[in-house]
Amino acid sequence: MSSVAVIGAGLVGCLAALGLSNRGYDVTIYELRDDPRKSHNKNLRSINLAVSDRGINALRYVDPTFAAKILSKVIPMSGRMIHKYNGELESQQYDLHGKSINSIDRSFLNEELLNEVESKGISVNFNHKLSSVNLDSAKPLLRFETLTSPVVNVDFVIGADGSFSKVRQELQKFVRMDYSQEYIDCAYLELSIPADEEGKFLLDKNHLHIWPRSSFMLIALPNIDGSFTSTFFAPWELIESLNEDSKILEFFQKEFPDSVKLIGKESLLHAFHHHPKGKLLSLKCNKYNYEDKVLIIGDAAHSMVPFYGQGMNCGFEDVFVLLELLEKNSDHLKKSFDEYTRTRHEDLLAIVDLAIGNYKEMSHKVNSKIFLIKKKIDFLLTYFLKDKWLPLYTMVSFRSDIKYSKAVATVKKQEKVLNFIQVIVLLSAAFGSFKIAKLFRKN
Ligand code: FAD
């Protein structure tokens, strides 16, 4: 069977390696960093991700037993918990039928994937930074920056080396690749809400907590140790202006009063002074392959801002789509890679754009009465029309059988109906005459 070099031992690279190895390919992984499982590399902060249907579907496709092991360590979140200025809490369920997205520790997931990769006999070469890929030769020729500068020949390369992908850069020399990237004016800072003295959660653990404040917001996701990983998202100018203890405390006390007690003053100040402030990048490209020699997947092919919780889920789905194509095309690599580029592109465009759109929803629309009325109508139509009407969030997060692009096309049609009903509801409410208005008057 063909030999493959997977570049990047992140979440997506590891899953791709497992899936390809299961199909009989001779897989080797090359990773720029050191082994994250070594104790001196351990990150003491837990950073978590929401894994949802597309990610779970891909994990199960690759290995149902491994998927079950991972899913036993997640915390289901059935909705958003909105923290208002006045301290009031409002739960907004994600799905009418109670489906949840799931909070998981990112390092735990990466380490488990690495353990699984090694248990299958796949070799992982840490501290191997890819420096070039030559595609002029019959087989791709890879060079790495290490003490011995090894040169490696393989049948094909899977680039899963993240947003600043070297594989993508090298691919651009050989294919006419459309490429665009945009930094959004938003930085993020990781904070933490510890467990109480008995190790219990200080907030409801089955919600994704949001403090939406229009141009900035705070969110928190639960960890299995009783803590929450919290993230502050704000425009760069604002976050950089919070450069003194008094300014930071004053700002948090005014904007997120309940959070200061939860995070703790010292821990809040420590995070502002010592944690890195992350940039958020949105990146699209097309094509994704060069003949049967290279394919890029995961963040290397489509970085998205994190507001739909789909970056990793979509990267896992890339692996699923690739494995299905290999199956369908009896492992004919060129056919499979070409078809991947042809059929996957519109879905990747759709989710990258949806992710930016969801920033607006999370940071301010969730507070708007009009938005909430629309959500209720959406839920009612879902209830009465069953599978004939599905909210966008449901299609994206809970229905891996619906492609991202199909979800967007469907919701465009549904929007027209929703807007029409919304006008009727608002007019009814204004004149106070129709029964239907009573359904929504509470809001
Ligand atoms: P990466 O995780 O970036 O891995 C790439 C790997 O390649 C790295 O290990 C890197 O060291 C290695 N590498 C890079 N260059 C080289 C080289 N030259 N040679 C060799 N190796 C190299 N997604 C979700 O699905 N749900 C969420 O809730 C969610 N929340 C998020 C919150 C935040 C704040 C952020 C920033 C992202 C979030 N994401 C979420 C997105 C998710 O983290 C990414 O989509 C996912 O980690 C991408 O995985 P990857 O394997 O493609 O890339």
* Contacts of 87 by beta carbon, 8 Å cutoff, 6+ apart: 257, 258
The pLDDT assigned to 374 comes to 79
Instruction: Return the pLDDT at 324.
Output: 98
Question: What is the spatial distance between Cα 199 and Cα 30, in angstroms, rounded to a whole number?
Answer: 39
Mutate to test the pocket of ligand 1, among 18, 28, 32 (most ligand atoms within 8 A of CB): 32
Please count the other Cβ atoms lying within 10 Å of the Cβ belonging to residue 55: 32
Which residue do the tokens 């009727």 mark? Answer: 424
What pLDDT is stored for residue 133 in this prediction?
Answer: 96
How many whole angstroms from its chain centre is CA 280? 12
68: helix, strand or coil: helix
Tally of CB atoms within 10 A around 345: 19
**pLDDT on residue 429:** 73
Spacing, Cα 94 to ligand 1 middle (Å): 25
- Neighbouring CB atoms inside 10 A of 208's CB total 22
What does the DSSP 8-state code read for residue 173? T
3-class DSSP assignment, residue 340: helix
Ligand 1 centroid to 207 CA: how many Å? 24
CA angle at 428 for the pair 422 and 429, rounded to the nearest 5°: 90
Atom of ligand 1 nearest to the CA of 9: 9
Q: Please name the amino acid found at residue 260.
A: V
Helix or strand holding residue 421 (H, E):
helix 404-431
Distance 12 CA to ligand 1 centre (A): 8
SS3 at position 8: coil
Q: Which residues, in sequence order, are CB contacts of 96 under 8 Å at separation 6+?
A: 379, 382, 383, 394
ipTM: 0.99
CA of 312 to the centre of ligand 1 (A): 7
**144 touches 152 (CB < 8 A):** yes
Give the model's pLDDT for residue 440.
54
Give me the amino acid identity at 346. E
CA of 11 to the centre of ligand 1 (A): 7
pLDDT at position 434: 54
Q: Which residues have C-beta atoms less than 6 Å from ligand 1? A: 7-13, 30-33, 49-50, 129-130, 160-162, 166, 188, 231, 278, 298-299, 306, 309-313, 315
Specify the residue with its C-alpha closest to ligand 1, atom 13: 161
- Mutation to probe ligand 1, out of 299, 305, 362, 404 (largest number of atoms < 8 A from CB): 299
Query: CA angle at residue 307 from 305 to 308, to 5 degrees?
Result: 105
> What is the Cβ-side half-sphere exposure of residue 199, based on CA atoms within 13 angstroms?
2
Q: Residues 127, 264: contact at Cβ < 8 Å?
A: no
Question: Cα–Cα distances in Å, from 433 out to 152, 370, 425?
Answer: 75, 19, 10
Q: What's the chain's Rg over C-alpha atoms?
A: 23
All residues at 6 or more sequence positions from 225 whose CB lies less than 8 Å from its CB, including other chains: 46, 195, 199
> What is the whole-number distance in angstroms between the Cα of residue 250 and the centre of ligand 1?
34
Find, among 204, 172, 183, the residue nearest to 289 by Cα: 172
Nearest CA owner, ligand 1 atom 36: 306
pLDDT in tens, the chain (443 residues): 899 999 999 999 999 999 999 999 999 999 999 999 996 666 555 679 999 999 999 999 999 999 999 999 999 999 999 999 888 999 989 988 889 999 999 999 999 999 999 999 999 999 999 999 999 888 999 999 987 878 999 999 999 999 999 999 999 999 999 999 999 999 999 999 999 999 999 999 999 999 999 889 999 999 999 999 999 999 999 999 999 999 999 999 999 999 999 999 999 999 999 999 999 999 999 999 999 999 999 999 999 999 999 999 999 999 999 999 999 999 999 999 999 999 999 999 999 999 988 876 666 666 677 777 777 888 888 888 877 889 899 999 999 999 999 999 999 999 888 888 877 877 777 776 555 556 555 54
Residue 313 alpha carbon, nearest atom of ligand 1: 25
Ligand 1 centre to CA of 420 (Å) is: 41
- Run of H or E residues at 133: strand 129-134
Looking at the CA of residue 315, tell me the nearest atom of ligand 1: 52
Distance 247 CA to ligand 1 centre (A): 32
Model pLDDT, residue 41: 62
Dihedrals φ, ψ of 203, to 5°? -130, 165
